[in-house]
Amino acid sequence: MAEPRVVVYPGSFDPLTLGHEDIARRCLKFADKLIIAVAHTATQHKDRLFSVEDRLAMIEECFSDEPRVEVADFSGLLVDFCKRIGARMVVRGLRAVSDFEYEFQMALMNRNLWPDLEMVFMAPAGRYTFLSASLVREVASLGGDISGFVSAPVLRRMREKTVS
Ligand code: ADP
C-alpha cells in the first residue's frame, strides 16, 4: 500500500482566518493527513495577539469536523519539523504577487536545506485574496466587525480579547 501523504501547512495563524481555512480544506483534496503547524518563531516580524496554545486550540475547534486535520507547533527550521514527522510536502497560500517573492525565496532555501521536500502553492477563493491575519487583528483592535473573516471559535476568542 502507498504511504499516506502527509502535508504540512505552516504559519503563525494569529488568528486562523477564513483564508487559511479555505487553503486547508482545499489541501484535503490531495492530503491523507494535513498538519496545521503553528510556528513559535514568526519568520516575518509580527506583533503577537494569541499564545501558541490558544492558536492550537482554536484551529482544533475549527476543524473538529475533519479527522484528517491535526494541529502541531514547532520551533526551529520547518524542514527539520517535516523530517521529524515524516512529511515531504508543504503547502503555502498565495494571495497576490506581493506574497510571491518571499515565498519563492523560502521555497528555494528549503530545497537547499532538504531537496526531498516539495513546496506547493495554492490560491484561495477570490473573496479571501485580500485577507490577512494582521489585517483582522488591526480591524478588531479598532472596533470593526470581523465576523465575515473568521469562523465562530476564532470570533469568540477575539471578542474575549478585545473586551478584556
Ligand atoms: P498571515 O500572512 O495572514 O499572517 P500566516 O503567516 O499565518 O498568515 O500564513 C500562513 C500561510 O497562509 C502563508 O502561506 C500565507 O500566505 C497563507 N495565507 C494567509 N492568509 C491567506 C489568505 N487569505 N488566502 C490564502 N492564503 C493565505
- The pLDDT value given to residue 103: 94
Which residue spans within 46-151 are E strands per DSSP? 69-74, 89-93, 118-122
Does residue 87 line the site of ligand 1, with CB under 6 A? no
Q: State pLDDT tens for residues 41-73.
A: 866 656 789 999 999 999 999 999 999 999 999
Q: What are the structural domain ranges in the chain?
A: 6-163
**Phi then psi for 109, rounded to 5 degrees?**
-65, -45
Using alpha carbons only, give the angle 81, 38, 149 rounded to the nearest 5 degrees.
Answer: 145
Cis peptide before 67 (omega within 30 of 0): no
Q: Which residue has the cell 503547524?
A: 37
Distances in whole angstroms, Cα of residue 89 to Cα of each of 35, 100, 115, 116: 11, 18, 11, 9
Whether the Cβ atoms of residue 149 and residue 136 lie closer than 8 Å to each other: yes
45/34 Cα distance (integer angstroms): 26
Q: State pLDDT tens for residues 141-162.
A: 999 999 999 999 999 999 998 7
Range 126-131 average pLDDT: 95
Does residue 20 line the site of ligand 1, with CB under 6 A? yes
> How crowded is residue 106: how many other Cβ atoms within 10 Å of its Cβ?
15
Class level of CATH domain 6-163: alpha beta
Tell whether the model's pLDDT for residue 164 goes beyond 60: no
Measured in Å, residue 2 CA sits from the centre of ligand 1 at 30
Does residue 122 line the site of ligand 1, with CB under 6 A? no
Of ligand 1's listed atoms, the one at least distance from the Cα of 13 is 7
